[in-house]
Structures are given as C-alpha cells and as structure tokens.
C-alpha cells in the first residue's frame, strides 16, 4: 500500500530533508585522508541531534550506528568503525533523519583526495543516473520509468546497477511501498500520483552487479571488489516536476555538470 502524504507532511519531510542535506554537506567538508569513520559518525549524530532530529538508522532493525558509511567496494550499510580514509578512496554516506515523526533519506558518494579517472567517472555517472531517475518521477508515469532511466544512464556509461537493492517509499516509516528498482522496463510498477514520496537511490558498480553480505550481517560489498557509488534523494511527487526534499545547500562541480548533462 502506497501512503500519500498531505501538504503538511511533505513540508515536515522537507524539514527533515534539510537536516539530512546539512549533515551530508558537513561530512563532505570533513572527507579527507585520515578521517576516521567512527568520528564522522559522531559528527553526523551531533549535527542531527543539534538540529532537533534523530538518526533514523540508529537502532533500525538493530543497526548500531547513526549513519551508514561505505568506502570503496562497500555498497551500503557500512558500520562506521576504526577505518581511516585514505587518499584515492571514495566514500558513501547514507543518512536518515527523523524530525517530528517524519523521515528523509539521502546518500552521496564523495572522492577522498585524488581519485582515479575511473572513480570520477563512476561518481559522475551515479549522480547523472539519480537525476535522470528524478526527471521521470512525475504523476502519471510508472515507477518503471524511473528504473529504466537509471539503468540506461548507468549501463550507457559502461557501469552496472546493483539489482538486489532497491529504492523505496519513505515517510513516517523508513521503508514504505513502492519498491523503486534501478533496472527494468518502463511499463512496470505503480502509477505515480501527487503526494507520493520516494527515496530514489541508484547503487552502481564499476564491475559486476553481484553483492556479498559481510560477517557483521550489515555491510554489503561488490562480490568482485570493484568500486561502488550510491546517490539518493528523497523526492515528493507533485503536479509538475518532483520536489527534491534532500537537496544539498552547495552542489559539487560534478553534480552541477551531471544535472545539466555536461561532459565530465
Ligand atoms: N538509509 C538506508 C536506505 O537508503 C537504510 C539504512 S538502514 C540501516 O534505505 F539500518 F542500515 F541503517
Ligand atoms: Co533509502
């Protein structure tokens, strides 16, 4: 069952979304060689709480940290620990914030210092795929329009989408219907209507789309050890273009060019 939100609920999700976006911007500014993931998690949690929110992931199905931090070959659900970022890494922060009972969810992958040409292309492709999906998130379109647009953008650039993990509805619950796959035909899934709120989240790899679950029973990486990127926004379906509820205050150069389709 897809839960459509009222105007007030969407405004509430946008307030949660501003805290999510602020957290991502803060983490981006602290993304440098030597930064310890556990410290970045604390930084994120302090920011979230000082802005009136609670970290949605903490305690969700027993998850033990405030946010998920997934470097390099980790795709999602990395538990921040003692690892210190190194020059040439890429790192994904995935953040849910609950504010007044309403949730927003966003993830972003950033380069650490100087990264490879391939890594930069992967990041630009993930961003471009996210915005291609969002462009299809319109009333009257099926969920499959989003899925197909993401898949085309990723595979067209020579990368792969992870098929075992999907986007989702979001609102008073972290994960609601519908599922939003990052692959599949346009003529699939439910028809979108105003008031629906979706977390659209391409998870992509530079190699195969196979995944492995680690012994901590949370972190998931690419089976072949290839790099992975993850770009997620929470959006509200409107009468026109989707409204992005987790837009970051400052866009990276790479995301600005991804949005306009310029070559990177
Ligand atoms: N934020 C994740 C998502 O994009 C969910 C993380 S659940 C957790 O759907 F428990 F691992 F935090
Ligand atoms: Co999500």
7-258, which class in CATH?
A: alpha beta
Helix (H/G/I), strand (E/B), else coil: 69: strand
* Mean of the per-residue pLDDT values of the chain: 95
Query: Per DSSP, what are the bridge partners of residue 120?
Result: none
What residue's CA is closest to ligand 1, atom 11? 77
How does pLDDT run across 41-99, given as a tens digit for each residue? 999 999 999 999 999 999 999 999 999 999 999 999 999 999 999 999 999 999 999 99
Mutate to test the pocket of ligand 1, among 55, 93, 96 (most ligand atoms within 8 A of CB): 96
What value does the mean pLDDT take over residues 228-248?
A: 97
Which residue has tokens 């930069």? 120
Quote the ligand 2 centre to 63 CA distance (angstroms). 14
Residue 76: phi, psi to the nearest 5? Answer: -145, 165
Confidence of residue 263 (pLDDT cuts 50, 70, 90): very low
**The dihedral sign for the CA sequence 113, 84, 90, 64:** negative
* Helix and strand totals (H; E) in the chain: 5, 15
**Which residues, chain by chain, have CB under 5 Å from ion ligand 2?**
105, 199
pTM over cut 0.75: yes
Q: Are β-strands 90-99 and 68-71 bridged in parallel, bridged antiparallel, or unpaired?
A: antiparallel
Q: Is 232 a pocket residue for ligand 1 (Cβ < 6 Å)?
A: yes
CA distance 108 to 195: 25
């Amino acid at each position: 069952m897809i839960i459509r939100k009222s105007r007030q609920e969407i405004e509430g999700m946008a307030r949660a979304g501003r805290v999510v976006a602020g957290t991502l911007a803060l983490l981006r500014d602290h993304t440098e060689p030597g930064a310890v993931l556990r410290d970045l998690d604390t930084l994120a949690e302090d920011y979230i709480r000082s802005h009136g929110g609670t970290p949605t992931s903490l305690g969700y199905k027993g998850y033990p940290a405030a946010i998920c931090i997934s470097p390099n070959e980790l795709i999602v659900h990395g538990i921040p620990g003692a690892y210190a970022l190194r020059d040439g890494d890429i790192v994904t922060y995935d953040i849910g914030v609950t504010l007044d009972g309403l949730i927003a969810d966003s993830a972003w992958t950033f380069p650490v210092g100087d990264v490879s040409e391939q890594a930069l292309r992967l990041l630009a492709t993930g961003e471009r795929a996210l915005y291609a999906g969002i462009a299809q998130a319109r009333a009257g379109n099926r969920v499959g329009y989003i899925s197909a647009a993401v898949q085309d953008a990723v595979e067209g650039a020579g990368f792969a989408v992870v098929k075992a993990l999907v986007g989702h509805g979001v609102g008073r619950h972290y994960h609601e219907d519908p599922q939003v796959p990052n692959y599949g035909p346009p003529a699939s899934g439910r028809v979108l209507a105003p008031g629906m709120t979706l977390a659209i989240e391409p998870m992509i790899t530079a190699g195969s789309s196979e995944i492995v679950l680690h012994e901590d029973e949370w972190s998931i990486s690419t089976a072949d050890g290839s790099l992975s990127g993850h770009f997620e926004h929470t959006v509200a379906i409107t009468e026109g273009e989707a409204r992005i509820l987790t837009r970051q205050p400052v866009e990276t150069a790479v995301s600005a060019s991804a949005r306009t389709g310029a070559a990177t």
